[in-house]
Amino acid sequence: MITARAALRLALALCFSSSLAQRPAQDRDQPQARVIHHRAQAAESTRWAASELQRLIKAATGEDLAITSENPQGPAICLEEDRDLPHDGYLIRSEKGNLIIRGNEGHPAGLWDLPSHGTLWGAMEVAERLLGVRWLMPGPHGEDIPTQGKLSFDLAEEIRGQPGLAVRMLAYLGESDREITHRHAPTLQWMKQQRLTNSLHSQVTGYGHSWDDYLKPADIEANPDWKPSSGNYQRNGKVTFFCTTAPGLVERFAQRVMESMDRNPKREMTSISPTDGGGFCTCQRCQALIEPDPHGKPNHARAILTFYKDVANLIAKQRPGRRLGGFVYYNYQYPPSSAPELPDNLSLCWAPLNYYGYGLLKPIYRSEFQPILQGWSQLTPHFFYHNYSTWMRSFHGAPLPVSLDILKREIPATAKVKAWGARMVGSAAWGVNAPINYLLAKQLWNPNLDLEQTLNEWLQRSYGPGWSHLRRLYDLLDQAMAEHKASQSPIYKGSNYEVNQEVMQTLYAPRFPQIEEAYRSTFAKCVSPAQRARLQRFGDNLTLLFHALHQARLIDLSGHPIQAQPPNSTAEASGSTNRTQGAALPATHKATKAPSIFHLNDQAFAQFLKRMQSDHSLLHDRYGIDHGPIWKGEWSEP
């Protein structure tokens, strides 16, 4: 006998089976859609990672994965937090049909801890390793996303990653030029994709020249014994130099630094670095702290470190939890024979001025680099490295050498001494110097990067089958710069990092035909619009370079070099700054070949510059993109 309750259950079952039978078979068998999942309270960087993965997966595979914070009912890419992982570290694994990206998202706990974004960096690893994405440069056509079938969530083995340096900063890319809006946002996004700290935390360090931010002229007037021995203590109404050993000065300076801290409570680090340029005191007290550097010049490092120590100790007592930064630079760039013990709230940033502008290609500096680096790193557990090593002031489209020789030495050695971080300098002339920016960014994350392979891949992914022509060009420029630097005196001059008349005449004018030929040969083998567009950016810089060299009478209309003329003035021979259009063409010189493909008449060149205002190709700074003719000696602001 069937009870009423049993009858009800039977009726419901028949009803359900009937409705199921009426559904199309494809609906019943349809698998749950794959999604990207993160928790509802996920960090902003994790949310951005999810949207970036969503965009890239759709571009690569055509699959559009929804983003959800609800429990997924089917396979998912799960972005999860795991504070047991190293700082900025991640773990990627397959688990029950899901692709798990776990990252350390921890907040700073100690004085020298930094925010961690391991989940974001893990997502970027998935994009690069599993999707094959490469972010070659910012802006249109800067991405290379290969098409592929459905992204597999099955991994043969887990993937772990963490950076070689806690702080990874790359500067001079256009990241600070907020007023140049069409460049600023794409540049910051590219930096984030490359896992650079200053893409998210631009003020995490503070080492800039700052003495003129603190003491006032009235302080010196009330305490005349605070003046440096030269008597010159101010510039443009600001106090620039003073006697660091004068009684009472350290206390007043520390007080002013703390007042600045109080006005800026969110500032992550406060600088106590000296003003740029010479002017240190050499009174009897200070002189006792000065000794010769390895090149026989006065080394003020012990005097500056003593000042740093005294200021930092006072601030540590009254403003615990605030960190300080100080340069070791210029005439205090070499470690002293003896140094005071430094407090824990202070980080030293070595900025080796002698090595700026490919200085590490000079044999004498190459040989000293490792021991000097080791010496500074032993004086502070918070050692930081900053260099303009593969940078030169270049306004006219010259392709700077990549200099694998320098790159193979610098960041790997910095990571080996367990530096807290590094800030390297790239170039905002993306069209022609993107390889330098790319290699530096990749090295800051992975100091043991295979530079040769990475450069080759970048060129191939950027420009297509003809990439080897540009690789040979970069090798040619590397060799030329190495020979040029080896011929220079080791004595520092500001012109050492200028692409000025001397460098244009020595490196670029003689090789312009080879530069043009490399461009032509590469362009002929481009197979996609994106490859041609990227190479056109390179060509835009060559248009600017041709114009500058031709205006300076260093090349003819065909792009071939004109025989160099001897210096025709005392100013030129002495290397003083003079902008020049060049001497008249030699009477014997005749341009016998067709004009260069980069030649534009004056009207066309003016239109070219106007068009470049909204492009990413050329250097674009607060002066614009037209910086006038090539200069001699050291550059000075217009």
Domains of the chain (ranges plus CATH)? 32-162 (3.30.379.10), 205-333 (no CATH)
Q: How confident is the model at residue 637 (pLDDT cuts 50, 70, 90)?
A: confident
Residues 76-93 have pLDDT tens digits of 999 999 999 999 999 999
pLDDT digits (tens, 9 = 90+) for 5-46: 444 344 434 343 443 344 454 444 567 899 999 999 999 999
What is the mean predicted confidence (pLDDT) over 415-428?
Answer: 98
SS percent in the chain: helix, strand, coil, step 5: 45, 15, 45
Say if residue 382's pLDDT is above 70: yes
- Whole-structure pTM value: 0.91
Nearest C-alpha neighbor of 299 from the set 284, 276, 278, 283: 278
Read off the pLDDT of residues 198-257 as tens digits, 9 standing for 90 and up.
999 998 999 999 999 999 999 999 999 999 999 999 999 999 999 999 999 999 999 999
- With contact defined as beta carbons under 8 Å apart, do 73 and 96 qualify? no
Amino acid 13: pLDDT: 42
Q: Which 3 state secondary structure label does DSSP give 34? A: coil
pLDDT in tens, 581-616: 443 334 444 556 899 999 999 999 999 999 999 888
Structure tokens at 486: 């080896």
Of 355, 305, 358, which Cα lies nearest the Cα of 327? 305
Arithmetic mean of pLDDT, 305-329:
98
3-state SS track over 327-351: EEEHHHCCCCCCCCCCCCCEEEEEE
Token pair belonging to 242: 């003073």
Query: How confident is the model at residue 590, as a pLDDT?
Result: 55
Q: Are 490 and 364 in contact (CB under 8 A)?
A: yes
Q: What's the mean per-residue pLDDT of the chain?
A: 91
Instruction: Judge whether 503 and 484 are in contact, CB under 8 Å.
Output: yes
pLDDT at 628 over 70: yes
What is the reported pLDDT for 615? Answer: 87
254, 189 Cβ separation under 8 angstroms: no
Q: How far apart are CA 202 and CA 115, in angstroms?
A: 12
Neighbours of 571 (CB within 10 A): 14
Q: How far is CA 350 from CA 327, 418, 439, in A?
A: 6, 14, 21
Provide φ and ψ at 602, rounded to 5°: -60, -40
Candidate from 363-377, 520-534, 554-568 with smallest mean pLDDT: 554-568
Calculate mean pLDDT across residues 117-128.
98
**636/613 Cα distance (integer angstroms):** 23
The dihedral over CA atoms of 341, 343, 344, 347, expressed in degrees to the nearest 10, equals -80
Query: Quick check: 66 pLDDT over 60?
Result: yes
Q: Is the model more confident about 138 or about 8? A: 138
Query: Percent of the chain having pLDDT more than 70?
Result: 91
Whether 626 and 545 have beta carbons less than 8 Å apart is answered as: no
Q: Cβ neighbours of residue 562 under 8 Å, at least 6 residues apart?
A: 509, 553, 554, 555, 556, 585, 586, 589
146 pLDDT higher than 80:
yes
Report pLDDT for 32.
80
> What is the residue whose two structure tokens read 């055509």?
62
Burial profile 477-487: b = 16 or more Cβ within 10 angstroms, e = fewer = bbebbbebbee
Find out whether 212 and 235 touch, Cβ atoms under 8 Å. Answer: yes
Angle at Cα 308 formed by Cα 306 and Cα 314, nearest 5°?
105
Q: How confident is the model at residue 116 (pLDDT cuts 50, 70, 90)?
A: very high
Does residue 71 register a pLDDT over 80? yes
Q: Which amino acid is at 570?
A: T
Name the β-bridge partners of 110.
none
CA atoms within 13 A on the CB side of 281: 24
Q: What would the pLDDT profile of 269-287 be if each residue is shown by its tens digit?
A: 999 999 998 899 999 999 9
Indicate if the pLDDT at residue 170 is higher than 70.
yes
pLDDT tens digits along 558-588: 999 997 544 443 333 333 344 444 433 344 4
